[in-house]
Structure 1
Amino acid sequence: MPFVIYLLGLAVFAQGTSEFMLAGLVPGIARELGVSIPAAGLLTSAFAAGMVAGAPLAAALSLRWSRRTALLSFLIAFLLAHVVGAVTTDYAVLLGTRVVAALANAGFLAVAMATAVALAPPHAKGRATSILLSGVTIACVAGVPGGAALGGLWGWRSAFWAVALALVPAIVAVLRSVPGGAPGGTVRGEARALRRPRLLLLLLLAALVNGATFSTFTYLAPLLTGVTGIGQAWLPGLLALFGLGSFAGVTISGRLADTRPMALLVPGGLALGAGWAVFGLVAGAPWPAVALVFVQGTLSFAVGSTLISQVLYAATGAPTLAGGFATAALNVGAVLGPWMGGLAMDAGLGFRAPLWVSAGLVALALLIAAATRPFLSRPRTQVPTHLPARAE
C-alpha cells in the first residue's frame, strides 16, 4: 500500500480529533470568550452541520481541480481555520472557523477516498478505505483525550495549534506523492453514475448503521454511570475501549471488504443488531456491558467501513462525488442517531433507550438489505479508478 495513503490517514486523524475534541474544551472556551456553555457547544453542532451540507458541495467543487490541487486546498483551508481559531478572541469568528473547517474536512475526505482507492493496488479499495477511516478511530482513542489533556495543561488554544501542526506532514506528502494533471471528471458525468440503485441503497444502509453507532455512543457516559453503575473515573478508559474496538473493526474490514464483503456484512450485520439488543437487556451488569462496549465498537466499524468500501466499488464512474455522498451519509447518521436516541430518552424510556434505537436502526437496515438483495449483489467485475501519471 503506498505510504501516502497512511499520511492521508494522518490528516483524517487530525481532522477527526478536531471534530470530537471540543467535548473536553467547551468549558475553557466558554470561560475565556465570555459565552455560555450551550453557546460554546454550538461549535460542535456547526461542525456537524457543515460536514453534512458541505460534503457533496465541496466534492462537486473539487472536480474542477486535479486531486492534488483539491487535497492541498482543503488541507490548507483546514489548517488556516485552526490557526485563526487559535488566535481569535471573538466567539463569532471562532464559530465561523468551525464551519470553514467542516467544509474543508468534508471536501478533503471525499477527495481522499477517491485518491486512496486510485493509488491503491487493484481490488484493494476496502483496505485503502479502512486506512483512512482508521484515522477517525485513532482520534477517538488518542486524539480526543490528547486534545483534552493539552487543553488542561496549556489552554484550549494549544489543542487547535496541535491539530494544525499534525496536518503539515500530510501537506508535504500530497505535494510529493499525489499525481497532478487535469481534473478527473465533471459534475454532470459523475451525477449520472450516482443514480444506480445499488449505490443509493448502500448509502442508505451506511447512514442507518452509523446512526445506530452514534445513537448509543453519544449517550454512552450516562448509560454506563446511570444504568451500569460504573464510576465517573472509568469513563475515559471505556470510551477509549470503544475506540479500540472501532480500530479493530476497520482493520477487519480492510482484510475482508475487498474479497469477501458479504461474508462480513451478513453475519456482521446480524451480530451487530443482536448485540445492541443484548446490550439493552444486560446494561445493568458491569462486566457484560464493558465487553459489549468493545464488541459493538468492533462490529459497528467493521460493517460500516465495509459498506463505505462497497459504495466506492459501486461508483467507479463517480469516485469523487461518491466519496462526498459517503461522507454525507455517515454524518447524516451521526446526526440522526443521537437525535432519535435523545427523543427516546425524553419520552421517559430511560438511558437504555438509545440502545433500543440502535437495535431498531440496524434491524431496519437488515430488512431493507433483505428486500433489495438483487440490487445489492456485487458486480462480477470491478474497474479500479486509477490516477493518471504524475504531471511534472
Structure 2
Amino acid sequence: MPFALYPLALAVFAMGTSEFMLAGLLPGLAPDLGVTVATAGLLTPAFAVGMIVGAPLVAVLARALPRRACLLASVLVFGAAHAVGALTASFAVLCATRVVAALAHAGFLALALPAAAVLVPPDRTGRALAVLLAGTTVATVAGVPGGAALGALYGWRTVFWGLAALCVPVALGVLTGVPAGRGAVGGSALRVEAAVLRRPPLLLAMLLGALVNAATFASFTYLAPVVTGPAGLGERWVAVALMLFGAGSFAGVTLAGRFSDRRPGLLLAITGPALLFGWPALALAAGVPAVLLPLVCVQGALSFALGSTLITRVLYEAGGAPTLAGACATTALNVGAAAGPLLAAPSLTTPAGPRGPLWTSTFLIALALLVAHRSRPLPTGGDTAPEGAPTR
C-alpha cells in the first residue's frame, strides 16, 4: 500500500477517537464547565450534525482546489478546534468547536476516501479503504479507552491537547505523501455528478450502508448498560467489551479489504444473515458473560465487514461523480451513526431494558436485508472492478 495511506489512516484514528471519546469524558467535563452531564451530552449530536453537513459542503467547495491542500487544511482546522476546546471555560464555545471539528472531520473523510481510491489500482480500492477505515476501528480499540484513562488521570483537557498534537505528524505526512491533484478526484460538472447520484444502485448502497451503520451504533453506543446490567459485570468490564468490539471491527475491515473488491456479493450474502442472527443472540445471551463477550467481538467483525463493503460499493457506484463520491460515503456512514442511537434510546425504557438497543439493531438489519431482497442486488463483482469505479 502507498505510504500516503498511512498518515490518512492516522488522521482517521485521531478523528474517530474525537468522535467517540466523549462517553468517557463527560463525568469530568460537565462539572468543570458548570453544566449537567445531560447538557454536556449535547456535544455528541452537535458533532453528528457537523459530520452530516460537512461532507457534501466541503466536497463541493473543494472541488476546484488542490486535494493535498484541502486535506491539510482539514487536519489543521481539526487540530485548532481541539486546541481551542482545551483552553475554553465556556460550554457554548466548546460546543462550537465540536461542530467545527466535525465539519473538518467530515470534509477530510469526503476527500480522503476518493483520494485513497486513486492511490491504488482500481481492483485494490477495497484494500485501500480498509487501511483508511482501520483508523476508526483502532480508535475504538485503543483511542477511546486510552482517552478515557488519560482523562481520568490528567483531566479531559489533556485528551483534547493530545488530539491537537497528533495532527502535527498527520499534517507532515499529508504534506509529503499525498499527491497535489485537483479536487476530490477530478473535476466534472456538478450537474453531471448530480445525475450520477440519482442512480438506483448508488442510492441502494447508501441506504443499506446507513441502515447497517445505524444497527452497529445503536448497540455500540449502549453497550455499557448491557455489561453492567444483564451481564452483572463491573464498570471496568465496559472498557474490555468496547475493546473486544473494536478488535472485531478491525478484523472486519481487514476481511472486507481482502474480499470487497473481488467477491462483494459473497461477503454481503454471508455477513448480512449472520448479523441478523447475531444481534438477537447477543440480546438473549446478555446475562451470560462467557457468551456475551465473544459475541460482542464477532458482531463488531461482522458489522464492520458488511459496512465497509457497502461503503466500497458506494464509491464504485459513484465513480462518475468524483467530487461527491466521498461525500456520499461519509454521509451514509454518519446518517447511520446519528440515527442508530436516537432510534435505540427509547428502547431502554421498554420491558427489554438494556437489551432494547440489541433488538433495535436486529430490526435495522432485518430492514436492510428486506430492502436488499426487494431491490436489485448490488453487483456481485468479479476479478475486476465494476464499470465506473474510481480510477486515476
* TM norm structure 2: 0.94
Distance in 1, Cα, partners of 2:77 & 2:304: 28
Give the superposition deviation at 1:56.
1.7
Kept in 1, the 8 Å contact 2:317–2:388? The answer is no
Distance in 2, Cα, partners of 1:354 & 1:234: 19
Aligned equivalent of 2:320: 317
Q: What are the within-5 Å matches in structure 2 for residues 1-392 of structure 1?
A: 1-183=1-183, 184-185=186-187, 186-374=189-377, 376=379, 378=381, 381-387=386-392
CA change 1:376–1:369 in 2 (3 A) is: farther
Give the superposition deviation at 1:13.
0.1
Distance in 2, Cα, partners of 1:203 & 1:384: 16
Structure 2: runs of 5 or more not aligned = none
Residues 189-221 of structure 1: CA deviation (Å, up to 9, x unaligned) = 322221111000000000111111111111111
SS at structure 2 position matched to 1:264: helix
Kept in 1, the 8 Å contact 2:316–2:390? The answer is no
Kept in 1, the 8 Å contact 2:316–2:386? The answer is no
Structure 1: runs of 5 or more not aligned = 388-392
Kept in 1, the 8 Å contact 2:106–2:330? The answer is yes
Distance in 1, Cα, partners of 2:119 & 2:320: 16
Distance in 2, Cα, partners of 1:2 & 1:121: 11
CA change 1:374–1:270 in 2 (3 A) is: closer
Distance in 2, Cα, partners of 1:262 & 1:244: 24
Give the superposition deviation at 1:107.
0.5
Kept in 2, the 8 Å contact 1:48–1:331? The answer is yes
Kept in 1, the 8 Å contact 2:262–2:381? The answer is no
Give the superposition deviation at 1:27.
2.3
Residues 274-304 of structure 1: CA deviation (Å, up to 9, x unaligned) = 1112222222222111111011011000000
Q: Which moved more, 1:100-109 or 1:151-160?
A: 151-160
Distance in 2, Cα, partners of 1:56 & 1:181: 19
CA change 1:128–1:348 in 2 (3 A) is: same
Give the superposition deviation at 1:383.
4.8
Give the superposition deviation at 1:377.
5.3
Distance in 2, Cα, partners of 1:359 & 1:38: 27
Distance in 2, Cα, partners of 1:344 & 1:152: 30
Aligned equivalent of 1:390: none
Distance in 1, Cα, partners of 2:46 & 2:331: 15
Distance in 2, Cα, partners of 1:165 & 1:201: 39
SS at structure 2 position matched to 1:227: coil
CA change 1:148–1:224 in 2 (3 A) is: closer
Give the superposition deviation at 1:181.
4.1
Give the superposition deviation at 1:139.
0.5
Kept in 1, the 8 Å contact 2:54–2:106? The answer is yes
Kept in 1, the 8 Å contact 2:227–2:241? The answer is no
SS at structure 2 position matched to 1:268: helix
Give the superposition deviation at 1:272.
0.9
Distance in 1, Cα, partners of 2:214 & 2:6: 27
Residues 140-162 of structure 1: CA deviation (Å, up to 9, x unaligned) = 11111111222122221111111
Distance in 1, Cα, partners of 2:41 & 2:167: 25
Q: Which moved more, 1:108-117 or 1:56-65?
A: 56-65
CA change 1:210–1:182 in 2 (3 A) is: closer
The share of aligned pairs that are identical, in percent, is 56
Q: Which moved more, 1:373-382 or 1:55-64?
A: 373-382
Distance in 1, Cα, partners of 2:112 & 2:322: 10
Give the superposition deviation at 1:45.
1.9
Amino acid in the other structure paired with 1:234: W
Residues 18-39 of structure 1: CA deviation (Å, up to 9, x unaligned) = 1111112222222222222222
CA change 1:182–1:376 in 2 (3 A) is: closer
Residues 149-191 of structure 1: CA deviation (Å, up to 9, x unaligned) = 2212222111111111112222112212222244322433322
Residues 301-331 of structure 1: CA deviation (Å, up to 9, x unaligned) = 0000111011111111113412112111111
Give the superposition deviation at 1:378.
4.9
Kept in 2, the 8 Å contact 1:63–1:187? The answer is no
